[in-house]
Amino acid sequence: MVARDGVVLCFFMRRSHGEVAPAVWRALQTYLSAIPPRSLNWYGSDEGDILPLDDKGWERIHWQLLERSWGAEWLVDLAEDASETGGYHFEYDGRKLDAPLFSHDEDSTSGVTFSFPTEYLLEHGPAHLRALALELARELPISFGYASLAFVAPQGFWYAARWELLGLLSRYLGMDLYHLNDTSRVIGTRARGAYWLTFVGQPLLGQLGGIRGLRDKLSFPEVSLHPLEGERLLITLGEWPEAIDTEKAQSLPQYRVLAHLLEPFLYEERTGWFSLDKDNMRRWLRRLCQ
């Protein structure tokens, strides 16, 4: 299995690894305390091997995140299962933004994802998951982030099933498909779209008119705005995340209004994801703007 249904939390930070690493480590501890014990069992080594996440493995992850000072990129990949995609997954791509590899690129970020199976959402409820997302976000200097129903598939493993997924993505507009490495390298301080939980930092928040401006434009009873320290904002578009099934007569205008507000600030992918035609990805990112 290369992809499964679940919930993904993605955060992008226009900061170098050295600035965010301690916060990422604390966020990882928060994630571990919230999910069932032994939900993460394997990690990817620098040599490309999948190794057991035992005490020795955790020592290696701690060294990779907090102690290794050299290099231009720091990759951490923690998985539930070694042979197929599970519901629980942690992925981090930290970059030294002034390193020669990235210094010419003004759009690189450090990014991190946390995933959950759909069963976690159903068991604990959306209020619990929203509170957890807030707790994770408080640790991180986010420029943009979100929580959404998604096809959980770390490192773009979904690519093997992309043609099957295309049909599902065209029907369920609220399902996210992500590739942390690609997106974190190009998103900069821009947006990726409108989601159940949308985290907005600076300068994007100011470009959208600030909290007051967004409150006026998103005056729906389902929508709530939660200011965070560091001039950041959480926009919640409803009690539950929505798959947005186009075969049902769903009325979710708050998603489309936020999508239109964010459209001028959406980033552009530089890889073909679905195919060699990059317009496929461009259209999909703007699916709620139609």
- Predicted confidence at residue 2, as pLDDT, reads 81
Q: What is the pLDDT of residue 272?
A: 59
Q: Is the pLDDT of residue 158 over 80?
A: no
Domain residues for the domain of 142 are 4-289
In the chain, what percentage of residues exceed pLDDT 70? 95
Task: Give me the pLDDT at residue 283, please.
Answer: 85
**211: pLDDT confidence band, cut at 50, 70 and 90?**
very high
The model's pLDDT over 246-272, given as tens digits with 9 standing for 90+, comes to 998 777 999 999 999 999 999 987 765
Burial of residue 264 (number of CB atoms within 10 Å: 0-12, 13-18, 19+): exposed
- Lowest average pLDDT, out of 9-18, 88-97, 142-151, 159-168, goes to 159-168
Q: What is the mean pLDDT of residues 10-23?
A: 96
pTM across the whole model: 0.94
264 contacts: CB under 8 Å, gap ≥ 6? none
State the average pLDDT over residues 218-232.
Answer: 95
pLDDT band for position 103 (cuts 50, 70, 90): low
Is the pLDDT reported for residue 273 higher than 70? no
Least confident of 51-55, 125-129, 178-182, 278-282: 278-282
Mean pLDDT of 58-82: 93
- The domain total for the chain is 1
What pLDDT band is residue 146 in, cutting at 50, 70 and 90? very high
Range of 46-60, 93-107, 159-173 with top mean pLDDT: 46-60
Region 170-174: mean pLDDT is 92
Grade residue 39 by pLDDT with cuts at 50, 70 and 90.
Answer: very high
- At residue 115, the pLDDT reads 97
